[in-house]
Structure 1
Amino acid sequence: MYKCSLERMTDKIKTFSTYGDAGHGGITRYSLSPEAIQARNEFIKRMESIGAIIEVDDVANIYATLPGTDPDAKRIVMASHCDSVKNGGNYDGILGVMSAMEVLETVAEQDIPHKHPLTAMIWTNEEGSLYPPAMMCSGIVCYDYLPEDIRVKFKYEDMMNSKSILDQTSTFGDALKASGFMGDKKYRLSPDNYLYMFETHIEQGPILEDAGNDVGVVDCVLGMFNYRLRFYGQTTHAGTFPMPKRKDAFLAASMALTYLHEKIDKLGYSDLVYTTGEVVCHPCVHTCVPDFFDFSFDARHEDPKVLEQVLAIVKGCADKVWAGCTCEVEKAWNRDTVYWDKKLVSYVKEAAEECGVSHQYIHSGAGHDAQFASYMLPTTMIFVQSKDGLSHCEPEYSSPEHCTEGATVMLNAVLKADAE
């Protein structure tokens, strides 16, 4: 078995953490921002130094490829993203890029024989933090292969016109043109020139750490749905209108949310997760009774039958009157569970076993570019332990040792795929 370099990985973690350093241990590195361009240039510099060939497609995805011994063989790609959420951590996304770099660096340094070209890749705008939606450019590249209900959200023209959440004037297309990374469509990832895709990522949860395992052999991305619940009441003066006559939409929403927790928890599924993460209140004035309240509801589970049970409870809220207010339930979006290629999953498990890295099967609750790629190519993922399960925040941390183990597992899994 081949091993990646702890020293090189440590250096990459330290270097990339300076691009977008927010001053408190994490980063803000929006896609195609000056900070992201610094990270991209570092990637290119390091990959060119080992003889990798650099290509950039029309939506700024970057491909660095080491040729194989078979000039006709399709490429095996290892990919993730280098953009972050606001005040995010130093590992989400970029670890997958650094791991792919480390695989290529190890292959080059140790002159490891391989038949297929091996490619390290950066996906553009996975987070969608500045230009929504998330997983924008994997959605564009994989568009023709996505299910219809997902595909309609990723039309190229619409994505180019996606407006910055900061100023609502500049668009993703503007940033793309200004970045210097608008390449050629002919370089896009496709089944014509790529065979398999691997993605290494931090777990973003506490399961591996709690179990004492270093690496997760990921088998799927959980199915999920996202709905909006809207409550309609009546605005009145906060000091003059009698309590029994009020129709307080905020109160109605709080009653419904409590009801949802009670009913859903009684289903008894310990591996079900659900969240209310976004709210809107109107008129949002301290002297006014709210006449409108809107909250999101996100639920995730592998089994569609479990999600159906949860959804029935959510939809049932529209059949009730809450504190004198009516309720409307509307679907935002959903996805079915996406299962990784079983053969590639087996390669990851075998590689972990042979490398002596503690591991377990694990689901991904979060979405990744790999899930869109999986509709187009056989794909799989590898998780690395996250300290305290924290992610999308500045305390996010995975040790250099764990990061190196994840890269080592990916290297050996890729070599198994190459040797087929």
Structure 2
Amino acid sequence: MYKCSLERMTDKIKTFSKYGDAGHGGITRYSLSEAALQARAEFRKRMEAIGAIIEVDDVANMYATLPGSDPEAKRIVMASHCDSVKNGGNYDGILGVMSAMEVLETVAAEKIPHKHPLTAMIWTNEEGSLYPPAMMCSGIVCYDFLPEDIRSKFKYEDMMKSVSILDQKSTFGEALAKSGYQGDKKYRLSPEKYQYMFETHIEQGPILEDAGNDIGIVDCVLGMFNYRVKFYGQTTHAGTFPMPKRKDAFLAASKAICYLHEKIDALGYPELVYTTGEVVCHPCVHTCVPDFFEFSFDARHEDPEVLEKVLDIVKSCADMDWGGCSCEVTKAWNRDTVYWDKKLVSYVKEAAEELGVSHQYIHSGAGHDAQFAAYMLPTTMIFVQSKDGLSHCEPEYSSPEHCTEGASVMLGAVLKADRD
């Protein structure tokens, strides 16, 4: 079995962590920012050094390809993203890019025979941290293959008009035009040119570490829904209006959140996860009783029947009395569970076994570009253990040894796929 280089991986982790260094252990590397362009230049430099051919499509996705022995064979692509959330870590997304680079570097250094062209890829704007939505450019590229309710959110024209969250006026399209990385649509990922896709990623949770396993063999991305729960009351002066007569939308929402936790926990599904992560309060003035309060509700599970039971509880909020406040429950979006290609999953498992790396099957609760690609191509993912399960924060950490193991497992799986 071939193995990737710990020394090279360690160097890549150290080097890429400089681009967008936030000064306290992590990075802020918005898509198409100066820091992201520096990371892309580093990717290009290292890939050209081993003889890879660089292509860039019309939404700045980058492809570095080592030719194979069969000029008619389709490519096998390994992909992730180089952008981050604000004050994020040095591994989310970029580990998948570094792992893909490491696979190509190992193939070149060891002169490993391969039939298919092998491609390392950078997806643009996976996080959507500066220009929403998340997974923007995989949504654009995979548009024709996505379910209609997802597809409608990724129209090319709309995405080009996505406005920066920082200045509320500059757009993604403008940043793309200025970046120097707006290439040609003909280079886009497609089933005509590509056969399989792999993505290596940090787990972003504690399951592998708690179980004492290094590598996660990912079998699916969990289904989920996101709803908005809104409460309408009456604004009055906080110091003059009697308590019994108030219609406090904030109080109503707080009671509803407690109700949801009690009822949903009583369903007894340990793998079910949910949260209320975003809130809006109006008028949000300390001397005013709130007349409006809204919170998001995000739930995730593999089984659609479990999600349906949770959704019934969420929807029931609209029919209950909340101290004189009315309640409205509206759908933001949802997705079905996306299962990875079983053959590719088996290749990952075989590679882990042959390398003697501790491993287990695991679900992905987070979304990834790979899930959109899966509607287009046979696709799978590999997880690397995350220290303390932390991600999307500066303490995010995966050891160079674990990162190298993840790349080695992907190399082994890709070489198995190369025989097809």
Bin the TM-score by the shorter chain: over 0.9
Q: Partner of 1:344 in structure 2?
A: 344
Identity among equivalent positions (%) equals 88
Q: Partner of 2:252 in structure 1?
A: 252
Q: Distance in 1 between matches of 2:169 and 2:302?
A: 39
How far the C-alpha of 1:330 sits from its partner, in A, is: 0.3
Q: Partner of 1:294 in structure 2?
A: 294
SS state at 1:60 partner? coil
Q: Distance in 2 between matches of 1:235 and 1:54?
A: 59
Q: Partner of 1:17 in structure 2?
A: 17
SS state at 2:106 partner? helix
How far the C-alpha of 1:155 sits from its partner, in A, is: 0.3
- State the Cα deviation string for residues 24-57 of structure 1 (Å, max 9, x = none): 1000000000000000000000000000000000
Q: Is 2:276 the counterpart of 1:276?
A: yes
Alignment gaps of 5+ in structure 2:
none
Alignment gaps of 5+ in structure 1:
none
- State the Cα deviation string for residues 319-343 of structure 1 (Å, max 9, x = none): 0121211100000000000000000
How far the C-alpha of 1:417 sits from its partner, in A, is: 0.2
2:148 maps to amino acid:
E
Q: Is 2:412 the counterpart of 1:412?
A: yes
Q: Partner of 1:304 in structure 2?
A: 304
Q: Distance in 2 between matches of 1:280 and 1:323?
A: 19
Q: Distance in 1 between matches of 2:101 and 2:151?
A: 30
Q: Partner of 1:235 in structure 2?
A: 235
Q: Is 2:127 the counterpart of 1:127?
A: yes
Q: Distance in 2 between matches of 1:167 and 1:330?
A: 29
Q: Partner of 2:356 in structure 1?
A: 356
2:78 maps to amino acid:
M
Q: Partner of 1:365 in structure 2?
A: 365
How far the C-alpha of 1:287 sits from its partner, in A, is: 0.6
Which ranges of 4 or more aligned residues in structure 1 deviate by more than 3 Å? none
Q: Distance in 1 between matches of 2:229 and 2:137?
A: 30
How far the C-alpha of 1:232 sits from its partner, in A, is: 0.4
Q: Is 2:223 the counterpart of 1:226?
A: no
Q: Distance in 2 between matches of 1:277 and 1:24?
A: 25
Q: Is 2:395 the counterpart of 1:395?
A: yes
Q: Is 2:110 the counterpart of 1:110?
A: yes
How far the C-alpha of 1:169 sits from its partner, in A, is: 1.1
SS state at 1:154 partner? coil
Q: Distance in 1 between matches of 2:161 and 2:321?
A: 40
1:207 maps to amino acid:
I
Q: Distance in 2 between matches of 1:338 and 1:419?
A: 25
Q: Distance in 1 between matches of 2:245 and 2:148?
A: 47
Q: Distance in 2 between matches of 1:410 and 1:203?
A: 15
Q: Is 2:184 the counterpart of 1:213?
A: no
2:309 maps to amino acid:
Q
- State the Cα deviation string for residues 291-311 of structure 1 (Å, max 9, x = none): 000000000000000000000
CA RMSD of aligned residues (A): 0.3
Q: Partner of 1:73 in structure 2?
A: 73
- State the Cα deviation string for residues 105-138 of structure 1 (Å, max 9, x = none): 0000000000000000000000000000000000
Q: Distance in 2 between matches of 1:153 and 1:254?
A: 31
Superposed counterparts of 1:7-156, under 5 Å: 7-156=7-156
Q: Distance in 2 between matches of 1:154 and 1:244?
A: 47
SS state at 2:18 partner? coil
